[in-house]
Structure 1
Amino acid sequence: MSRGVRLPFFVYGTLRPGEPNHGAYLRGRSAAEAPARLTGAVLYEGPGYPYLVEDPGGGQVRGELITALPSAYERLLADLDVLEVCAPGDPRNLYDRVVREVTLLDGAAARAWVYVAAPRVAARLRASGAVIGGGDWASFRARG
């Protein structure tokens, strides 16, 4: 990804509207928020937040596509990397930030940053994790 390209973020857990980190990290820093979904992924339960694990045979994960205000983008990107314990190339990462295509409700496609479970975390979850059925963290939390 070339430097200077500013992609929106696909959020699916605690950064979604109504969730605790939305207000802490995104309030006043987003220009637009729109419901979206990512195909080919599964959500797993984490300790108070979900992990997204890519799975070509998986279902869909529901979330929001967040477009940051241009003036807030660089700081938001850095803050989200810290929140998600994501440092490029660090084997201790909980998440890796990758570019994926998401689909908006009207069927339009958009490229976005997505935080996916880092390889060692994904392997552990595939072996013994609890899947969040339906791929929707907000619905899962509402049931619990």
Structure 2
Amino acid sequence: MHLVFCYGTLRLGESNHGVIKGAPLKESFCWTKGELYDTQDGYPALVQSEDEEHNVYGEVYEVDNQLLERINILEGYQEGRDHNLYDRVMQEI
């Protein structure tokens, strides 16, 4: 199982939440250090920060390998590839 922090379209009530529908919600109000930016493509981007003043709020879901692969497809992520739409990183939530 994997814990995934969702801060954009995967959150409950957002356009892509159906991708993880049925995944257990572990935290509904949590945050991590960073800032959100508007990509102008219909989804936000999170940029990590060590700045205590900037937090991004979201939800944490527990997903299995199958749901993680669905997220990868949605997000255009392929492990080991140089030009993914996002990087999967471990970060304190």
TM-score between both structures, scaled by the size of structure 1: 0.58
Deviation at 1:33, TM superposition (A): 4.1
Task: List runs of 5+ in structure 1 lacking aligned partners.
Answer: 1-5, 103-144
Root-mean-square deviation (CA), in Å? 1.4
Please name the residue that 1:26 is paired with.
20
User: Identity of counterpart residues, as a percentage?
Assistant: 37
The one-letter code of the counterpart of 2:2 is L
| 1:51 corresponds to which of 45, 48, 55 | 45
Identify the structure with the greater helix proportion: 1
| 2:65 corresponds to which of 60, 74, 78 | 74
Q: Aligned pair count?
A: 90
Deviation at 1:60, TM superposition (A): 0.2
Please name the residue that 1:62 is paired with.
57
Q: For residues 117-139 of structure 1, what are the alpha-carbon distances to aligned partners after superposition, in whole Å with 9 as ceiling and x for unaligned?
A: xxxxxxxxxxxxxxxxxxxxxxx
Poorly superposed stretches of 4+, deviation over 6 Å = none
More relative contact order in 1 or in 2 (CA 8 Å, sep 6+)? 2
Task: List runs of 5+ in structure 2 lacking aligned partners.
Answer: none
Give the greater-gyration-radius structure (CA).
Answer: 1
